[in-house]
């Protein structure tokens, strides 16, 4: 599931940034703190639709306030220190220029859950509700995870540009990603040839594994089996074990999850894990989500027809590449 992939990536990157901010702060290296102000300014604007600007651009070293949104009347302090004293220190400064505004505190390296339970001395005219107005990584992630998939993808793209690619993207490539890059260039609306496994065999295998929702996916993509066979044949010309490693990778996900899952849940999990492996591959060339889903579905259904995943009825013929 792409939602899980994106959420995990975002969580990993925000947690990594928090750890770096805290570690560097202990060494009195504060450059990353300043960069984080701008990072969170853009992240919060994207997440909540705010129009925050960095006050330090027009008023360097402004006391108590780092970000301001004049349209939505928000003032925000971004801090690696999460204490009641820190918050009250900001709230008791002269904020008369922001009468009618709401103050928010963003903790960028520490959990601030306990701070939401406390009461605070507050400057007259400034709104501040600890439950709503104290943000930390956990609460920000909670808001991010509630987004629809398009906005979640937009947040992930922003974070990827700011904080770098997935960890594995700087590591090792996979044949799985290579074949996806090839499939992405194919026209899957074009007519496909007949699949080698007979229809009644496929239906028997679907029934014996109690696949219901997945049966629709299999029925939709089984027509591409012979084309995949040809693509694998060309792929194997690039080196030994190319197609075999792709099928083995898909089979590995099936075997690892078959102990705890079955039927449609297992089929869905295999697709989810294959998607994750592709996203984590150094050689994956990013394509639109719906196109990636299409290619992965085609590959997994092909592995099903080749009897590489799920139990086979007696009449199933192995047509593995």
Structure confidence by residue, pLDDT tens digits, 241-287: 899 999 999 999 999 999 999 999 999 999 999 998 888 888 888 88
Kindly state the tokens that stand for 114. Answer: 């306990």
Residues 98 and 216 in one domain: no
Q: What DSSP designation does 127 have?
A: B
Residues 282 and 191 in one domain: yes
* pLDDT reported for residue 314: 66
* pLDDT reported for residue 60: 65
Calculate the CA 303 to chain-centre distance: 26
Residue 237 lies inside a defined structural domain of this protein: yes
Residue 265 lies inside a defined structural domain of this protein: yes
- d(Cα 181, Cα 95) in Å, to the nearest integer? 55
Residues 44 and 128 in one domain: yes
pLDDT digit string, tens, across residues 129-169:
999 999 999 999 999 999 998 999 999 999 988 887 554 44
Residues 65 and 100 in one domain: yes
- d(Cα 156, Cα 149) in Å, to the nearest integer? 10
With tokens 């509700």, the residue in question is 129
Residues 27 and 69 in one domain: yes
* pLDDT reported for residue 240: 80
Question: Which segment, 3-12, 58-67, 207-216, is predicted with the most confidence on average?
Answer: 207-216
Residues 283 and 191 in one domain: yes
Residue 160 lies inside a defined structural domain of this protein: yes
* pLDDT reported for residue 192: 52
Residues 156 and 230 in one domain: no
Residue 28 lies inside a defined structural domain of this protein: yes
Residue 312 lies inside a defined structural domain of this protein: no
Residue 131 lies inside a defined structural domain of this protein: yes
Mean pLDDT lowest for which of 44-58, 63-77, 279-293? 279-293
Number of domains in the chain: 2
* pLDDT reported for residue 319: 44
- Domain of 57 in residue numbering reads as 2-164
In this prediction, residues 99-103 reach a mean pLDDT of 94
Task: Kindly report the average pLDDT of the chain as a whole number.
Answer: 87
Residues 152 and 45 in one domain: yes
Residues 17 and 151 in one domain: yes
- d(Cα 201, Cα 195) in Å, to the nearest integer? 11
Nearest Cα to Cα of residue 197 among 44, 275, 109, 306: 306
Nearest Cα to Cα of residue 122 among 149, 90, 99: 90
- d(Cα 147, Cα 46) in Å, to the nearest integer? 11
The residue from 164, 191, 220 where one domain ends is: 164
Strands 53-54 and 102-107: unpaired
Residues 53 and 174 in one domain: no
Specify the higher pLDDT residue, 1 or 113. Answer: 113
Residues 133 and 175 in one domain: no
Residue 313 lies inside a defined structural domain of this protein: no
Above pLDDT 90, what percent of the chain? 55
Residues 179 and 297 in one domain: yes
* pLDDT reported for residue 320: 40
The answer to whether the beta carbons of residues 306 and 205 sit under 8 Å apart is no
* pLDDT reported for residue 167: 45
With a cut of 80, say whether residue 65 has pLDDT above it. yes
With a cut of 90, say whether residue 215 has pLDDT above it. yes
- CB atoms near residue 117 (< 10 Å): 9
pLDDT category, 49, cuts 50, 70, 90?
very high
Residue 314 lies inside a defined structural domain of this protein: no
The residue from 143, 164, 185 where one domain ends is: 164
Length in residues, the chain = 321
């Amino acid at each position: 599931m792409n939602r899980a992939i994106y959420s995990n990536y975002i969580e990993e990157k925000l947690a990594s940034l928090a750890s770096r901010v805290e570690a560097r702060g202990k060494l009195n290296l504060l450059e990353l703190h300043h960069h984080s102000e701008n990072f969170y300014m853009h992240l919060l604007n994207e997440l909540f639709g705010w129009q925050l600007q960095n006050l330090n651009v027009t008023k360097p070293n402004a006391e108590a306030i780092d970000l301001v949104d004049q349209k939505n009347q928000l003032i925000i302090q971004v801090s690696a220190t999460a204490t009641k004293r820190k918050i009250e220190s900001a709230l008791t400064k002269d904020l008369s220029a922001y009468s009618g505004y709401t103050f928010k505190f963003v903790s960028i390296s520490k959990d601030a859950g306990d701070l939401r339970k406390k009461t605070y001395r507050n400057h007259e005219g400034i709104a501040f509700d600890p439950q709503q107005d104290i943000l930390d990584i956990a609460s920000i992630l909670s808001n991010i995870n509630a987004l629809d998939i398009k906005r979640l993808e937009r947040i992930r793209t922003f974070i990827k540009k700011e904080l770098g690619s997935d960890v594995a993207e700087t590591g090792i490539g996979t044949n799985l990603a290579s074949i996806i890059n090839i499939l992405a260039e194919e026209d899957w609306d074009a007519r496909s040839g007949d699949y080698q496994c007979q229809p009644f065999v496929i239906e028997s295998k679907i029934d014996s594994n109690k696949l219901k929702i997945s049966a629709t996916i299999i029925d939709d993509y089984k027509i591409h089996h012979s084309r995949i066979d040809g693509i694998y044949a060309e792929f194997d010309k690039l080196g030994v074990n190319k197609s075999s490693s792709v099928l083995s990778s898909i089979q590995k996900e099936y075997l690892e999850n078959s102990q705890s899952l079955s039927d449609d849940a297992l089929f869905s999990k295999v697709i989810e894990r294959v998607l994750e492996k592709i996203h984590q591959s150094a050689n994956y060339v990013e394509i639109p989500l719906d196109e990636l889903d299409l290619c992965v579905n085609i590959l997994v259904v092909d592995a099903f027809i080749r009897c590489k995943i799920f139990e086979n009825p007696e009449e199933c013929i192995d047509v593995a590449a």
